[in-house]
Structure 1
Amino acid sequence: MTHSGELYASHTIGEPQGAQKRRLIRWQQGVITAVEDAGPAAPGIQRTLVMPALANAHDHVRPLPMSSFGTAFLPLEAWLPRTVLATPPEAYKAALAPLARAALSGCGAVMVHYTRPSGKLDPVEEACEVARAARDVGLKIAFAPAIRDRNPLVYGDETAVLETLPPDIATLLRDTYCRPSLSPERLIETTEQIAEAIQGHMVDVQFGPAGVQWCSDELLRAIARRSAETGRRVHMHLLETPYQRRWADLTFPQGIVSYLKHIGMLSPRLTLAHCVHARPHELDIIADAGCRIVTNSGSNLHLRSGLGPVADARRRGCHVAIGVDGQAFDEDDDMIREIRLANALHGGTGFTQTWSRQDFLLQSISHGRQAVGMPGTGKIAVGEPADFLQLDYDRLDRDRIMEVEPVDLFFARANLRHVLQVIVAGKTIVAQGYLPGIDLQAVENELRSTYRQSVRRFDALSRDWPLIEAALAQWNMAYNGCC
């Protein structure tokens, strides 16, 4: 548990000269000081694969899998209202569990786009609890409180939906979702108060507009201005679903990305999650502005949002990172599998390869670090931060029949069960696949027990959910010209 040390690797991925064998990596005060030949391995020594620690570039730190709350395979427009059942019972342990799972899956950093606060604390106090959880795990985080001031239920006047429902259900929805928002000035001020409380070497506070469809023009312009004045990064959703695409086309005849450029939102400070339904010319504008796009393959599949033009975005010069989005494919927050899934979906067809697997891995880490506000490129090189992921190569190369490229085995079969160590800023936060000082199973069991009680306050919503979901489906499908 020190910020100085050394690490032996039988294989590395991430050195400037490419994959290497039998390396010794040394660091002091959290910075790499030497990467050198370790010489012949001693007989019987464990083989390990060392690479840069992963960066989850878009997440919402959801305490437990959302399908446990009845959300399985709902589209986002019904999924989001349903997730109110998973409102965190308290902030610290609700953040501790997903951040611990992130570390166990090889992450050294996580973007926390905080969309579902507990409601039991002042926003600054709640942010402090999330930062405390990250500190106890040992992760670097970016924290962006999600801010919004319009369209609480649908992409337009919610009256059109409420009028189709019995009065008691309409009242329930209005009371649950349609509450007045704070002013743009107050929302920005709250973010900056959070920054005063928790910003530091391991925490980067960012503006977190939930998405254009949920933020007024006044709010977005104010964020763009304040970001330009202060240099604070911005993290937001964009064009995640076909219904958002339809809304964007109706609301911005000049184009939603052109609108963002016009108000000064597009810059290297901006990270855009999803962009599933972005068009080629929009990707060009995003690339020219130096923004990042985060693709979230598991979440996109669960929520049936679409796959997204990931390969085209990268080909056009967009900086593409990977996120778990709190909805990994197996609902286990396994960042390794999410990287593999994104590559499998977008890496090419037949003999045509979109990118080399190693480039995809290392660039997704580098761009993810930028999204989280981490220093360095993520390379294993002198002067870079000592942020490493160490995998059990004996287990990864379990058959040991012939020499195979480590990156091929990584993309073929790696997952969180192969993680031995995670080192962040030179400090070991995961050792032999465990988190020192944190009993994750106990934390998750406590959350389960608490949720079994707290979910009862939403009994009326659960009872009436079939009618609510049908009304939301009817509105969105009609809005999109589907019925």
Structure 2
Amino acid sequence: MSAPLLIFADTILTGFDPDGTPILLEQAALLIRDGRIADAGTADTMRRRHPEVEAMGGRGKAVIPGLINAHHHVGVTPFQMGAQDHPLELWFAERLRMRDVPPDLDTLYSAFEMVASGVTTVQHLHSRAPGDVTAVLDRANRIIGAYDRLGMRVSYSFAMRDQNRVLYDDDQVFLELLPAAMRPVAARYLAGFGLSLDEQAQVFYELRNQHSGKERIAIQIAPANLHWLSNAGLEMAARLHDATGAPMHMHLLETPYQREYAARRGQGSAVEQIQRFGLLGPDLTIGHGVWLSRDDLALCKENGVCICHNCSSNLRLKSGTADLNAFLATGLPIALGIDEAGINDDRDMLQEMRMALTLHRPSGHHSPAPTAAQVLQMATRHGAATTPFRERIGGLAKGQAADLVVLDWDRVTYPWQDSRNGFADVLVRRAKAEAVAQVMVAGRTVYADGTFVNVDRKAELDRLKKWQSRPRTALDEEMAELADAAIDVVHDYYKNWR
């Protein structure tokens, strides 16, 4: 165990009252012992109580709970790999041209960006992993291992899917719509993702057993989406949850085409359909939910589900603008996720909070709008509710994990900030990654003064650059040609939808 540590700051955000008011300690300190918050109080009181404990921080600093990116997929962004920001369904086809990146390098790339903006916990939703059970487990553990090496906290899930991998229709329909010359290429590609539902359940149980009891690693269930799962797949997700109690994270109603798919599948809205399989409840997080209706939201509220808002992603992929104010009005935990990448094609959680705060301000003097405190809760306490770590993270109360961010508050407010604006307002509106002075996870420093403690960022990024700079292979060119053909097929397929 590491030695106890006192962290002093002008302001410490420890959490939120039940009504959402930030709980702030002024001129205060936290005692960290064995990776958790052991004590808190005014600076003078803490010095008297713990005179022999090493101290850090001080004037000009602020401390907040570690931020939580509650919805994440990949490192090197699709845009970096040549995929334009098409509407989601076309984007799936465009992504066929993306080359496979070594999972450890890929994971570290985005993890560097997350940590540097104050993220201590990530919900990693692994959407694509070719091969048999052994290959999928190896790739999963290389991803988990990269987070562990860096020192982050990760909730990992391998997305369950068993149908409709390109279109919201049978894979055979997609193959038959392709030009004849492209069908063998597409068939080989799709065959690489052929794990049965039983094998996907095996992956979940193997990972859960391998990482059981680890402080910073947890395994979730991720039923990918309604259109990607048959009834048997939805039943499997429910069985895994019932057997283990593991939380679930499910993409749902991201686009109007997904709403139309649910209507064509029948038996109610997408939310009503997954309710039939027992998936609605406090252990389920709905990712995106852009096209949730009022009735859907009422059903979500009745069952206590969580929702993860992915602001930048919804904008970039033309999915629509979620009604965040309606989400917040339910009183449910609403988390925040950056998804593939934020508006700047990076994983800057401070910027994502600003996006959410700013975008959802409809016209009118009396129209609802999120407050900075609500957005900050989305990125902390409510994000925690969507992970297996739950009450252990998302705040800095006694007994919680010492996952925290030390901010250079002078840098946040330079050259001037009127003190009449509250702490949360100034933080969400003005804080940038350059003000992140230190990041701790489970009481250990993982990032300080622009340097990662456990990993050489430049060396890893140089490795990534070298790998990406290698000559394109015949397979790369073949997949790029398939992507071009697939985009035309997908575009024509959805012409009469909505």
1:324 counterpart residue number: 338
User: 1:77-226 to 2 correspondence within 5 Å?
Assistant: 77-117=89-129, 122-177=135-190, 181-199=194-212, 200-226=214-240
2:299 counterpart residue number: 285
Q: Does 1:469 align with 2:483?
A: no
1:398 counterpart residue number: 414
Q: Does 1:257 align with 2:274?
A: no
Output one character per residue of 1:216-275: Cα deviation in whole Å (capped at 9) or x when no partner.
110111210221122122122111111111101111242221121111111211111101
Quote how far apart the aligned CAs of 1:410 are. Answer: 1.8
| Paired AA for residue 182 in structure 1 | L
Structure 1: runs of 5+ lacking an equivalent? none
Q: Distance in 2 between matches of 1:171 and 1:323?
A: 37
Alignment CA distance shift 1:68-1:363 (3 Å): closer
Q: Does 1:415 align with 2:432?
A: yes
Q: Distance in 2 between matches of 1:188 and 1:258?
A: 24
Quote how far apart the aligned CAs of 1:308 are. Answer: 1.1
| Paired AA for residue 424 in structure 2 | V
2:112, 2:457 within 8 Å by CA — same for their partners in 1? yes
Q: Does the residue aligned with 2:440 lie in a helix, a strand or coil?
A: strand
1:13, 1:19 within 8 Å by CA — same for their partners in 2? yes
Alignment CA distance shift 1:23-1:75 (3 Å): same
Q: Distance in 1 between matches of 2:138 and 2:326?
A: 42
Quote how far apart the aligned CAs of 1:428 are. Answer: 1.1
Q: Does the residue aligned with 2:414 lie in a helix, a strand or coil?
A: coil
Q: Distance in 1 between matches of 2:459 and 2:86?
A: 29
Quick check: 117-126 or 360-369, which moved more?
A: 117-126
Q: Distance in 2 between matches of 1:284 and 1:111?
A: 26
Alignment CA distance shift 1:367-1:15 (3 Å): closer
2:54 counterpart residue number: none
Q: Does the residue aligned with 2:341 lie in a helix, a strand or coil?
A: coil
Alignment CA distance shift 1:357-1:350 (3 Å): farther
1:358, 1:407 within 8 Å by CA — same for their partners in 2? yes
2:8, 2:58 within 8 Å by CA — same for their partners in 1? no
1:225, 1:264 within 8 Å by CA — same for their partners in 2? no
1:108, 1:422 within 8 Å by CA — same for their partners in 2? yes
2:360, 2:369 within 8 Å by CA — same for their partners in 1? yes
| Paired AA for residue 5 in structure 2 | G
2:30 counterpart residue number: 25
1:34 counterpart residue number: 39
CA RMSD in angstroms comes to 2.5
Quick check: 449-458 or 238-247, which moved more?
A: 449-458
Q: Distance in 2 between matches of 1:377 and 1:94?
A: 26
Q: Distance in 1 between matches of 2:142 and 2:174?
A: 37
Quote how far apart the aligned CAs of 1:350 are. Answer: 4.9
Q: Does the residue aligned with 1:402 lie in a helix, a strand or coil?
A: coil
Match of 1:373 among 388, 392, 414: 388
Q: Distance in 2 between matches of 1:383 and 1:225?
A: 33
1:388, 1:423 within 8 Å by CA — same for their partners in 2? yes
Q: Does the residue aligned with 2:232 lie in a helix, a strand or coil?
A: helix
| Paired AA for residue 417 in structure 1 | E
1:89, 1:454 within 8 Å by CA — same for their partners in 2? no
Q: Distance in 2 between matches of 1:101 and 1:335?
A: 9
Q: Does 1:429 align with 2:442?
A: no
Identity %: 25
| Paired AA for residue 196 in structure 2 | S
Structure 2: runs of 5+ lacking an equivalent? 17-21, 46-56
2:405 counterpart residue number: 389
2:25, 2:41 within 8 Å by CA — same for their partners in 1? no
Quote how far apart the aligned CAs of 1:207 are. Answer: 1.5
Quote how far apart the aligned CAs of 1:87 are. Answer: 4.6
Q: Distance in 2 between matches of 1:299 and 1:79?
A: 12
Quote how far apart the aligned CAs of 1:45 are. Answer: 6.2
| Paired AA for residue 146 in structure 1 | A
1:241, 1:305 within 8 Å by CA — same for their partners in 2? yes
Quick check: 162-171 or 141-150, which moved more?
A: 162-171
1:312 counterpart residue number: 326
Quote how far apart the aligned CAs of 1:134 are. Answer: 1.3
Q: Does the residue aligned with 2:386 lie in a helix, a strand or coil?
A: helix
2:376 counterpart residue number: 361
Q: Distance in 1 between matches of 2:58 and 2:206?
A: 51
Quote how far apart the aligned CAs of 1:322 are. Answer: 0.3
2:308 counterpart residue number: 294
- The size of the alignment, in residue pairs, is 477
2:360, 2:370 within 8 Å by CA — same for their partners in 1? no
Quick check: 246-255 or 275-284, which moved more?
A: 246-255
Q: Does the residue aligned with 1:77 lie in a helix, a strand or coil?
A: helix
Alignment CA distance shift 1:188-1:454 (3 Å): farther
Q: Distance in 2 between matches of 1:164 and 1:130?
A: 35
Match of 1:346 among 356, 360, 366: 360
User: 1:60-79 to 2 correspondence within 5 Å?
Assistant: 60=73, 62-79=74-91
TM-score of the superposed pair, with normalisation by structure 2: 0.89
2:96, 2:482 within 8 Å by CA — same for their partners in 1? no
Q: Does 1:4 align with 2:8?
A: no
Q: Distance in 1 between matches of 2:91 and 2:161?
A: 18
Quote how far apart the aligned CAs of 1:160 are. Answer: 4.4
Quick check: 419-428 or 9-18, which moved more?
A: 9-18
Output one character per residue of 1:300-342: Cα deviation in whole Å (capped at 9) or x when no partner.
1111111112211221233210011121111121111111211
